[in-house]
Chain A
Amino acid sequence: MSLQIPYEVTPRLDTGVNNAKLGIWLFLASEIMLFGGLFAAYVFLRMGADAWPGLEIYGTGEMATRADQILNVPLATLNTMILIASSMTMVMAWASLKMDNFSRYKLYMGITILLALGFLVVKAIEYGDKFDHHLYPATNNFLGVYFVLTGLHAIHVTGGIIVNAWFWGPGTKMWTQGTARDKAHFANRIEIAGLYWHFVDLVWIFLFPTIYLI
């Protein structure tokens, strides 16, 4: 390769970290602001609302006073468990590489991807149920907040699946056919992908109670 990106594995002397790590953390800081802006909008809309969620409980004629009368808390609890389990398997995938155990890495990364797909399936069931009841993002502010925040989060999950699937499949060449330096580089990439994945988990940790339970 003619162009060598500096400090991709070795730490820079001034920052003490490699550029990949600083880069992902700067990106995550921007993600904090992206989700933070939407959370702030949620607080703003809810503070100004006369009623929240302000919807009729399915076919009862009675107005819901709590989000859990509209949203499916058991399914969302299941999804929370799925996501924290996938965070654990992601960090185990990285630890497996650090222990030079590639087959274990493949196993943990595979489980991480399957759990993430499971999360999306559950999410799709939830969305489908809302649509069946003619509840759409434009129906009211509560549903607007619900769909925008969980939808943006689901897009992030999808992005994570694509990256992790690459590192489970074709991207592994760097480890299986690479030099010792390439292997270090690959383990580093998994750590970076992991930081993103844990952040997606972290966002859900706040989304779940604030939207479903409160």
Chain B
Amino acid sequence: MAHEMSLEEVKKHIRVYLLVFGALAVLTVVTVAVSYVHIPFYPALIVALIIASVKAGLVAAYFMHLVGEKQVIMWVLISAGVFLLALFVLFISSYADQEQLALVTHAVNLSHVA
């Protein structure tokens, strides 16, 4: 924690740690159970990512004490998050680009035929 905790505060925290562990275990069971239902790919992906994000959020917020953490740590994480997002967008958009290219090539080929 950013500040020194009193004994009482630590004891309160321990209760939270146990609750978080319980929530993580339940969410793990839920995510596995959902996977056995075999719903279509995109809804399944979205559900899995939402559950994983909630679990990750719980770990970060309580086990890693991000709740009440100093701003400088938040900025380190936000900047990493921005770069991570950029990385994903670059990769995914390269496919969007390829599809367009394929369409253009196809159109050019058609015009040649015509």
A-side residues, CB < 8 A to B, are: 11, 15-17, 21-22, 25-26, 29-30, 32-33, 36-37, 39-41, 43-44, 47-48, 66, 68, 73, 77, 80-81, 84-85, 87-88, 90-92, 95, 98-99, 191, 194-195, 198-199, 201-202, 205-206, 208-210, 212-214
Q: Roughly how many angstroms separate A29 CA and B72 CA in the complex, as a whole number? A: 13
A98 engages B5 (CB within 8 Å):
yes
Known contacts A44-B91, A92-B14; is-contact A16 B63 (Cβ 8 Å): no
B49 near A: Cβ within 8 Å?
A: yes
Judged by DSSP, the binding face of B is helix
A202 engages B51 (CB within 8 Å):
no
In this complex, the member of B24, B32, B64, B88 whose beta carbon has the largest number of chain A beta carbons within 10 angstroms is: B64
CB-CB under 8 A from B35, the residues of chain A are 68, 73, 209, 212-214
A198 engages B73 (CB within 8 Å):
no
A73 engages B21 (CB within 8 Å):
no
Known contacts A205-B59, A206-B56; is-contact A17 B31 (Cβ 8 Å): no
Q: Roughly how many angstroms separate A80 CA and B73 CA in the complex, as a whole number? A: 27
Known contacts A91-B63, A201-B59; is-contact A29 B18 (Cβ 8 Å): no
A205 engages B55 (CB within 8 Å):
yes
B52 engages A206 (CB within 8 Å):
yes
B-side residues, CB < 8 A to A, are: 2, 5, 7, 10-11, 13-14, 17-18, 20-21, 24-25, 28, 31-32, 34-35, 38, 41, 44-45, 48-49, 51-52, 55-56, 59-60, 63-65, 69-73, 76-77, 79-81, 83-84, 87-88, 90-92, 94-95
Known contacts A73-B35, A202-B60; is-contact A43 B21 (Cβ 8 Å): no
Contact for A47 among B7, B28, B72, B92, CB less than 8 A: B92
Contact for B41 among A198, A210, A214, CB less than 8 A: A214
CB of B33, distance to nearest CB on chain A (Å): 10
With A33-B83, A87-B63, A209-B52 already in contact, 19 other A-B pairs whose C-beta atoms are closer than 8 Å: A15-B72, A25-B76, A32-B80, A40-B88, A44-B92, A47-B95, A80-B28, A81-B28, A87-B59, A91-B63, A92-B14, A194-B64, A195-B64, A198-B60, A201-B63, A205-B55, A209-B48, A213-B31, A214-B41
CB-CB under 8 A from A43, the residues of chain B are 88, 91-92
B71 engages A16 (CB within 8 Å):
yes
Known contacts A16-B72, A17-B70, A202-B59; is-contact A88 B21 (Cβ 8 Å): yes
